[in-house]
Amino acid sequence: MSAPVLNVENLTVSFRSGEAWNSVVRDFSFTIDAGETVAVVGESGSGKSVTALSIMRLLPERQSRIEGRISLSGRELTALPEPEMRNVRGGEIGMIFQEPMTSLNPVLTTGFQLIEALRRHRDMDYAAARAEALRLFDLVRIPDAARRIDEHPHTFSGGQRQRVMIAMAMACRPKLLIADEPTTALDVTIQAQILGLIRELQTEYGMAVMFITHDMGVVAEIADRVEVMLKGDGVESGPVEQVFANPRHDYTRRLLAAVPKLGALGDTATPRRFPDLTTTPPEPEPGPEDDQRGKEILAVQGLVTRFDIRGGVFGRVKKRVHAVEDISFDIREGETLSLVGESGCGKSTTGRSILQLEQPRAGNILFEGRDLADSNKSELRALRRRMQIIFQDPYGSLNPRKTVGAAIGEPIRVHGLKSGAAVEDEVVRLLELVGLSRDHVLRYPHEFSGGQRQRICIARSLALNPRLIVADESVSALDASIKAQVVNLMLDLQREMGLAYLFISHDISIVERVSHRVAVMLSGRIVEIGPRSEVLNRPVHDYTKKLIAAVPVPDPSQRRIRTGLIEEELPSVIRPLDWQPAPSKMIEVGPDHFVLQDDST
Amino acid sequence: MNSHVQRGAYLRQTFRAMGAGLYSAFNTNKTSWIGLGLFGFVVFVAVFAPWLAPYDPIDQNILNRLKPPSADHWFGTDQFGRDILSRIMYGARISLVIGLLAITGALIIGSAIGVIAGYYGGILDIIIMQIMDVLLAFPALILGLIVVAMLGPSVTNLAIAIALTAIPPFARIARAPTISVKQREYLSAGRALGFSDVRLMLGHIVPNILPEILVMGSLWLATAIRVEASLAFIGLGVSPPTPTWGGMIREGFENILDSFWLAFFPSMAILLVVFALNMLGDGLRDAIDPRLKDAG
Amino acid sequence: MTAFFVKRLAFSVITLFGVLTIVFFIVRVLPGDPALVILGDQASQAAIDAMRDRLGLNDPLFTQYLRFLGGALVGDWGVSMVSGRPVVEEILKVLPATIELTVVSLILGAVVGIPLGVWSAVRRNEVPDYIIRIASLLGLSLPAFVSAILLLLMFAITLRWFPVMSSGQGDTLADRARDLALPAINLGLIMSAYITRVARSAMLEVLNQDYVRTAHAKGLVFNVIIWRHCLRNALIPVVTVVGLYLGILIGNSVLTEIVFNRPGLGKLIVGALNQRDYTMLQGMMVIYTLIVVLVNLLTDLVYGLIDPRIQYS
């Protein structure tokens, strides 16, 4: 066999902190052959992105130190003078990043940014570079390329911007493509398209691909070999089938166990905890639970929420965002209803509308049999206390200047539920309920990890003894293992207290784990709603099918990546003022299983 | 409910958080300490001027007029034979009192306007900020000039005039972080927990934006002192014989060709205090500016 | 772009009304009596009443407001109470000198300030950065009249390179340039201190952006990244802030004109103040408002040219 394209030997990367050096990658070695895809997997802080930036030598020079050997086709990169390194960057190694929205320069046209790369490395004149850029735009399937090439990035969607990034990285037919979490910020159907595109280009050009991700599902779909990183160390390495079938390192085992496999729950009706693998011996996969659902607690009927887009000279309403358009559902005590959908489908707006954080345009929201719209101010206040919300960003949802004790105690005091020392006792009780302790009362949020912060948020929302909790992407920002723990906590609380959850998420695998019932949203409407096992195992609506098909399966033997997926975007929910939405008509396709009647049904 | 205890706890928490924020900001940027030291020196001299000043700042001594700097008069004497050093020491009092009065007033009123506009948003915000933006672009000196000309030059009137010109910047400074805090999920969580608007503004927004506002306060105090001196230089300062730095430069400017020290030393005094405040505020701003925190 | 322009234009007209209104009411609502200001403390009550009548101050406030607005719009800003000539005429006579001074200073400020700011940001926390930061901090700590006096002491009195008094009406271009040099340097250096600082912090923010990393990953040369990819993005906040600093520029131009005894709006307004020329003051407020609104409109347009996100919307 020929020499590997990339050979990393004993790579150690350190960052300066004051006078000392902290190593963030230690003694890490791996190789990538031509035509091969190696996935570097790890949770946040594992050093996987730093490894990529070290290969490109893009780390700030004064603050970082690279030791070890990095060679590209036999040429040592660590000692290369900067001007020659610049020829390597973009010439021999192409790179795409996680954030397509911010990775393109907003004041230059996309075409120019591509042409610039071509002229830098391929010695073309402007006309030739432009022609080549057009070809690349076609290659990555940007529709209407001849026109779009002269437009600025802000007119492109996230998926399209990532395509432009790929075109740019591919411009000089690099030997190595480094993709640093290229699909993390994208919706799952767009992710499938981008993964397909990368695979297709790889086959065509025979390049080596270093694919960095935290998502085991994506790994299973795309990688030939896997490198697992933990806190700066490479802990396991091997062919993808072997790592998935026979993980040798404990950490890999935990990582794989924490990954929900869509379809794992089969036809059972209730949610199921993740097994706890931190104990020895590890907990076995828990069995199905009893159905403890009670009477109806929330009923949403014909909810409509729209936002005005103002414009023109006098700030008149020009267009409307039809964020939520005539949706109805109910939730019972002790039940989890999940709202799934891709960004902009209106799932978060639905949650916020129920809590009156957004003003609905129409529809009724009945909570414990009372219509929120008919309630006066003090009744509304009392009702709202019994509905709470937990958000996605564990860093943004706690006031950085309040101690944990003050944050949890504040609602108790404000509503006069307890006073004096009793407040503190209650705060401690709540903290212990979510798995934290008395010692945490006087600490500030920044002293906690993401998972702990999410526990604090849960404790705070429980302070008012709610019956319904809206969990708006509450576990999306967490690493897989932490995610599993927080989900378990939520399920435990549900069992003990009979809580109802409206679980809003874009992640269908996690949704399967937590829900009794599932509603799929598309462009402001529910297109399919029903028992979880029915909707996920026997989807009826086209969109539900497409969504489920796009979810990466964390099992390399079931690889489904399809190349040649055409660029397809979700329909816009921005409409002219005179647009008259048709009412949502749901057809029953099974017991308690409804599908929206539209073009596809 | 025991609202007193609660309010006390609120304030304590606010101040503790603020103190911690400012202290760490100071330590991040060491030049702030130099600025604070220089400014502290000026404040010390102003407060203890009656004990520190070698001569009476107002007593005239015609025999001793227009003397260049010497051992007896370090900074020389003016056309009435008054000791320039002593006049500078007393002049610091006027500058500081007017500056502090004006900025305290502008800080409170301006921040309140900014927080309210940012919190409620919509049409109210658009109208308020449009007015503020226009006032902001309107030359502070001209506005101050007109107001003082109408009111007459006194310490209070000068403070009012300067405060008027400083309200718009504070409204702007307070509004931006209010909007960013408002979009934080802890504010939505607070609304879901049933907190009132006033509680959210005073308890959750203000403590978060206060360090930023105080830092801007020190920068605008520098501006206020500069504007006061400029007004005095134009002839709209506190009336003579009370010593003001701007006024001294105005008088000294008439003799600039042969007695440079008349205008030179008060100029240096203004430069010292404005530079000290700018150093203080600028260092702190760099330290607390979240946009620059991660910059390599 | 056209829609954007029309919108900004409409905004400007509304703003113009707004400021004129605010200025009018600030002057009228404040406790001072213009008649008293004009005539001085010793004036008799009868004289004051007569003056109030002459100024139309006894009419209802709203009538006065309409008259003020109407006059301002048709260019009838009254007659100077000192010279007896129309206010508009007096202002137009000196306006070119002030515009000449401020425009030259602004160009000087940008030409010096932007490169210094960029350099400072690129060399963050290194020696050039420290020097530039201290120097620019000194620059904006100097009241314009203090720096003007220092320049005057240095270059006109000690070194005698430039005239002490500048007429601003020199016959030849060389004369004009000599007259303009010191005032423009004074104003321009202060402006450059402000611009340096804004350019530096804007640049620091831009250097941290993902697209700069992308540009590095393409293998572009450092200077291309800085001047092609970063500067244009950094200019967006610089333009905004320069618009906001207009007030400071105008204030400083007044002080500069006084120190260098240069004709212009500054000397006119101070003269009007000293001679209690009430109508002249009112006219000055209108002209300053007009300048502010016009420059804001101009800033918006430049902004629209730099930022493509605006051209499309």
Final residue before a domain boundary, out of C41, C61, C87: C87
Q: In terms of DSSP bridges, do strands A362-367 and A296-311 run parallel, antiparallel, or are they unpaired?
A: antiparallel
**C127 and C83 together in one domain:** no
**A204 and A116 together in one domain:** yes
Establish if A277 belongs to a structural domain: no
Establish if A269 belongs to a structural domain: no
Is B244 in the C-facing interface, judged by CB distances under 8 Å? no
Is there a contact between A152 and C308 if contact means CB atoms under 8 Å apart?
A: yes
Is there a contact between C30 and B260 if contact means CB atoms under 8 Å apart?
A: no
Final residue before a domain boundary, out of C87, C111, C128: C87
What's the pLDDT tens digit per position in A120-177?
Answer: 888 888 999 999 999 888 888 888 888 888 888 888 888 888 889 988 888 888 889 9
**A134 and A164 together in one domain:** yes
Is there a contact between B141 and C254 if contact means CB atoms under 8 Å apart?
A: yes
Q: Sorting pLDDT into bands at 50, 70 and 90, what band is B6? A: very low
Q: Sorting pLDDT into bands at 50, 70 and 90, what band is B2? A: very low
Is there a contact between C7 and A313 if contact means CB atoms under 8 Å apart?
A: yes
Q: Sorting pLDDT into bands at 50, 70 and 90, what band is C63? A: confident
DSSP C228: I
**C117 and C226 together in one domain:** yes
Final residue before a domain boundary, out of A463, A482, A516: A463
**A310 and A247 together in one domain:** no
- How big is the B-C interface in CB pairs under 8 Å? 151
Number of Cβ within a 10 Å radius of residue B128: 18
How is residue A252 written in tokens? 């890999």
**C79 and C130 together in one domain:** no
Q: Which of C26, C34, C145 sits opposite B147 (nearest CB)?
A: C26
What CA–CA distance (Å, rounded) separates A403 from A424? 13
How is residue B103 written in tokens? 């900025």
Chains that touch A (3 or more CB pairs under 8 A): B, C
**A351 and A494 together in one domain:** yes
Cα nearest neighbour of A463 on chain B: B193
Is there a contact between C211 and A106 if contact means CB atoms under 8 Å apart?
A: yes
Establish if A274 belongs to a structural domain: no
Is C13 in the A-facing interface, judged by CB distances under 8 Å? no
- How big is the A-B interface in CB pairs under 8 Å? 77
B287 within 8 A of B25, measured Cβ to Cβ? yes
**A445 and A521 together in one domain:** no
**C146 and C9 together in one domain:** no
**A495 and A573 together in one domain:** yes
**A31 and A116 together in one domain:** yes
For position A48, which CATH number holds?
A: 3.40.50.300
What CA–CA distance (Å, rounded) separates B295 from B93? 40
Cα nearest neighbour of A119 on chain C: C220
C196 within 8 A of C113, measured Cβ to Cβ? yes
A96 within 8 A of A165, measured Cβ to Cβ? yes
Final residue before a domain boundary, out of C87, C122, C150: C87
Cα nearest neighbour of B200 on chain A: A399
**C119 and C49 together in one domain:** no
A54 within 8 A of A63, measured Cβ to Cβ? no
Mutate to test the interface with A, among C125, C211, C239, C311 (most CBs of A within 10 A): C211
pLDDT above 80 for A362:
yes
**A186 and A175 together in one domain:** yes
Mean pLDDT score, A525-536:
92
DSSP C43: -
A257 within 8 A of A275, measured Cβ to Cβ? yes
Three-state DSSP class for residue A566: coil
- Exposure string of A484-495, with b = 16+ CB inside 10 Å and e = fewer, is bbbbbbbbebbb
Segment (H or E) for A595:
strand A593-596
pLDDT above 60 for A87:
yes
Establish if C152 belongs to a structural domain: yes
A298 within 8 A of A469, measured Cβ to Cβ? no
Is there a contact between A388 and B193 if contact means CB atoms under 8 Å apart?
A: yes
Establish if C295 belongs to a structural domain: no
Among A588-597, C265-274, C290-299, the range of highest mean pLDDT: A588-597
Measure in Å the smallest separation between the Cα of A290 and chain B Cα atoms. Answer: 31
pLDDT above 70 for B35:
yes
Q: Sorting pLDDT into bands at 50, 70 and 90, what band is B292? A: very low
**What range does the domain containing A504 cover?**
296-386+466-596
Which residue bears the tokens 């409170």? Answer: B108
Task: Supply the pLDDT for residue A291.
Answer: 75
Establish if A421 belongs to a structural domain: yes
What's the pLDDT tens digit per position in A248-284?
Answer: 888 888 888 877 777 777 778 888 888 776 666 556 6
**C139 and C242 together in one domain:** yes
Number of Cβ within a 10 Å radius of residue A307: 17
**What range does the domain containing C182 cover?**
88-265+301-306
**C131 and C152 together in one domain:** yes
Establish if C293 belongs to a structural domain: no
Is C215 in the A-facing interface, judged by CB distances under 8 Å? yes
Three-state DSSP class for residue A21: strand
pLDDT above 50 for B7:
no
Is there a contact between A411 and B13 if contact means CB atoms under 8 Å apart?
A: no
Mean pLDDT, chain A, rounded, equals 86
Peptide bond into C143 cis (omega under 30): no
Establish if C288 belongs to a structural domain: no
Establish if C292 belongs to a structural domain: no
Is C250 in the B-facing interface, judged by CB distances under 8 Å? yes
Is B70 in the A-facing interface, judged by CB distances under 8 Å? no
Q: Is A231 left (phi over 0), alpha (psi -120 to 50) or beta?
A: left
Would you tell me which residues 73-102 of chain B have a C-beta closer than 8 angstroms to some C-beta of chain C? none
Is there a contact between B13 and A401 if contact means CB atoms under 8 Å apart?
A: yes
Establish if A270 belongs to a structural domain: no
**C108 and C189 together in one domain:** yes
**C17 and C58 together in one domain:** yes
Instruction: Find the angle CA(C301)-CA(C307)-CA(C308) to the nearest 5 degrees.
Output: 110
Mean pLDDT score, C194-223:
88
Establish if C155 belongs to a structural domain: yes
What's the pLDDT tens digit per position in A177-200?
Answer: 999 988 888 888 888 888 888 888
Is A384 in the B-facing interface, judged by CB distances under 8 Å? yes
What CA–CA distance (Å, rounded) separates A445 from A440? 10
Is there a contact between C211 and A58 if contact means CB atoms under 8 Å apart?
A: no
Measure in Å the smallest separation between the Cα of C207 and chain B Cα atoms. Answer: 8
For position C208, which CATH number holds?
A: 1.10.3720.10
C162 within 8 A of C182, measured Cβ to Cβ? yes
Task: Supply the pLDDT for residue B113.
Answer: 93
How is residue B172 written in tokens? 């702007």
Task: Supply the pLDDT for residue B48.
Answer: 87
Mutate to test the interface with C, among B154, B165, B230, B291 (most CBs of C within 10 A): B230
Q: How many domains does chain C have?
A: 2
Measure in Å the smallest separation between the Cα of C14 and chain A Cα atoms. Answer: 11
Q: In terms of DSSP bridges, do strands A296-311 and A316-332 run parallel, antiparallel, or are they unpaired?
A: antiparallel
**Comparing C187 with A579, which gets the higher pLDDT?**
C187
Q: Sorting pLDDT into bands at 50, 70 and 90, what band is C29? A: low
Task: Supply the pLDDT for residue A438.
Answer: 87
Mutate to test the interface with C, among A16, A170, A313 (most CBs of C within 10 A): A313
Amino acid at residue number C122: V
Establish if A567 belongs to a structural domain: yes
Among B282-291, C131-140, C237-246, the range of highest mean pLDDT: C131-140
Domains defined along chain B, listed by start: 2-35+92-295 (1.10.3720.10)
Establish if C312 belongs to a structural domain: no
This complex has an ipTM of 0.81
**C107 and C217 together in one domain:** yes
Is B12 in the A-facing interface, judged by CB distances under 8 Å? no
Closest by CA to A120, choosing from B126, B205, C229, is C229
Mean pLDDT score, C261-286:
82
Is C281 in the A-facing interface, judged by CB distances under 8 Å? no
Is A53 in the B-facing interface, judged by CB distances under 8 Å? no
What CA–CA distance (Å, rounded) separates A76 from A86? 14
pLDDT above 50 for B177:
yes
Task: Supply the pLDDT for residue A581.
Answer: 82
What CA–CA distance (Å, rounded) separates B46 from B245? 13
What CA–CA distance (Å, rounded) separates A321 from A312? 17
What CA–CA distance (Å, rounded) separates A353 from C44? 69
Would you tell me which residues 307-346 of chain A have a C-beta closer than 8 angstroms to some C-beta of chain B? 315
**Edge-to-edge strand ranges of the sheet holding A586-590:** A387-390, A468-472, A500-505, A336-340, A517-522, A525-531, A593-596, A586-590
